């Protein structure tokens, strides 16, 4: 129990490109690094890529409803679902496909909603995961905002808290374009060549990563303060299950306070 209590916030980065080392991953790594810098040892990051994974489409059989969320399709769904469910915060970084979410990721998300609804017994509504969204495509005005909005809507319906980056680079998330480049390193090359648009995208991904980390820390701290009230509400079970125990937190703060006092220089008047 004590080890669990000291568990850092877990931030899962999901790269929604079938390319293992493409532009989405490049931006996701930037965001995760910024989050790690902001969160320090209070936050742990993991990058999961859908590249090489299989997510079959939902067949609408509703079997998951009678099997506590377990889907009968055999593929990589459960692996990502379990990571998703354990995360306190999630950053999606996806390429725009036909003005929207790539099909592989959409297949995962379709099944996730129904699976978790049954898995949690209908109380997904207040799970309070923090979300950030990064999108990029080859062209300008070519679906970045639609894709971001679709993922923000997904975050909301899953009881999450979507955040963006800092103004004015990131309005509803970080977004960019490869200036018509179709290479997996197009964005990186543009950044290195000093391209202004690409640099704005990187700044947006950086501030988005930082804000996801900060919001996740705020949500955890708030949950610890309000634990009793939230327990009485009954709908926050999933969130509360991810919280370190309040008693342990109070003990940690007291230990840290005493240690800080011990480090203070002796009062010269006190001898
Ligand atoms: C099937 C497919 C559909 C695409 N549709 C769009 C689109 O609607 N808008 C756009 O700007 N780029 C589109 N693109 C381009 C990709 O979004 C772009 O190449 C992106 O940089 C790829 O990111 P990645 O390297 O992370 O895979 C599409 C690419 C593919 C393969």
Q: What is the CATH number of the domain that holds 239?
A: 3.40.50.360
Instruction: Using the mean position of ligand 1's atoms as its centre, give its distance from the Cα of residue 271 in Å.
Output: 71
In a domain, 251, yes or no: yes
Domain that holds residue 55: 2-263
In a domain, 37, yes or no: yes
In a domain, 91, yes or no: yes
In a domain, 175, yes or no: yes
Q: Is 172 helix (H, G, I), strand (E, B) or coil?
A: coil
Alpha-carbon torsion (121, 124, 125, 126), positive or negative: positive
Q: Whose CA is nearest to atom 30 of ligand 1?
A: 97
In a domain, 268, yes or no: no
Residue 68: CB atoms within 10 A of its CB come to: 11
144 within ligand 1 shell (Cβ under 6 A): no
Q: Whose CA is nearest to atom 22 of ligand 1?
A: 95
Q: Is 89 helix (H, G, I), strand (E, B) or coil?
A: strand
Per-residue pLDDT of the chain (271 residues; tens, 9 = 90+): 444 456 899 999 999 999 999 999 999 999 999 999 999 999 999 999 999 999 999 999 999 988 888 999 999 999 999 999 999 999 999 999 999 999 999 999 999 999 998 888 767 678 999 999 999 999 999 999 999 999 999 999 999 999 999 999 999 999 999 999 999 999 999 999 999 999 999 999 999 999 999 999 999 999 999 999 999 988 898 899 999 875 555 555 556 666 676 665 544 443 3
Instruction: Using the mean position of ligand 1's atoms as its centre, give its distance from the Cα of residue 270 in Å.
Output: 70
102 within ligand 1 shell (Cβ under 6 A): no
138 within ligand 1 shell (Cβ under 6 A): yes
Q: Provide the whole-model pTM.
A: 0.90
Count of domains in the chain? 1
Instruction: Using the mean position of ligand 1's atoms as its centre, give its distance from the Cα of residue 11 in Å.
Output: 25
97 within ligand 1 shell (Cβ under 6 A): yes
How far is Cα of residue 120 from the mean position of the Cα atoms in its chain? 19
In a domain, 196, yes or no: yes
In a domain, 271, yes or no: no
Given this model, what pLDDT does residue 217 score?
97
Q: Where are the alpha helices (DSSP H) in 40-143?
A: 77-86, 103-119
In a domain, 129, yes or no: yes
137 within ligand 1 shell (Cβ under 6 A): yes
Ramachandran region, residue 152 (left: φ > 0; alpha: ψ -120 to 50; beta: rest): alpha
Instruction: Using the mean position of ligand 1's atoms as its centre, give its distance from the Cα of residue 40 in Å.
Output: 33
Nearest residue to 81 via CA among 118, 44, 45, 52: 118
184 within ligand 1 shell (Cβ under 6 A): yes
């Amino acid at each position: 129990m004590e080890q669990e209590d000291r568990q850092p916030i877990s931030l899962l980065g999901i790269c929604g490109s079938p390319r293992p080392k493409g532009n989405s991953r490049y931006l996701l790594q930037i965001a995760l690094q910024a989050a790690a810098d902001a969160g320090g040892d209070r936050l742990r990051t993991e990058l999961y890529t859908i590249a090489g994974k299989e997510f079959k489409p939902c067949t609408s059989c509703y079997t998951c409803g009678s099997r506590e969320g377990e889907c009968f399709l055999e593929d990589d769904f459960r692996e990502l679902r379990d990571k998703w469910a354990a995360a306190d915060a999630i950053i999606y970084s996806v390429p725009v496909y036909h003005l929207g979410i790539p099909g592989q990721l959409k297949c995962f998300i379709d099944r996730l909603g129904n699976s978790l609804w049954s898995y949690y017994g209908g109380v997904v509504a207040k799970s309070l995961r923090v979300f950030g969204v990064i999108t990029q495509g080859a062209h300008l005005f070519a679906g970045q905002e639609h894709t971001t909005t679709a993922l923000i809507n997904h975050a909301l319906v899953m009881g999450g808290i979507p955040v963006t980056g800092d103004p004015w680079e990131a309005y509803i998330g970080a977004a960019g374009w490869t200036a018509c480049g179709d290479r997996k390193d197009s964005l990186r090359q543009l950044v290195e060549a000093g391209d202004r648009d690409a640099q704005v995208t990187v700044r947006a991904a950086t501030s988005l990563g930082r804000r996801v980390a900060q919001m996740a820390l705020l949500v955890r701290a708030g949950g610890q303060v309000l634990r009793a009230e939230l327990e009485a509400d009954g709908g926050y079970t999933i969130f509360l299950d991810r919280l370190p125990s309040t008693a342990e937190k109070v003990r940690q703060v007291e230990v840290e306070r005493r240690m800080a006092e011990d480090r203070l220089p002796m009062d010269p008047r006190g001898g």
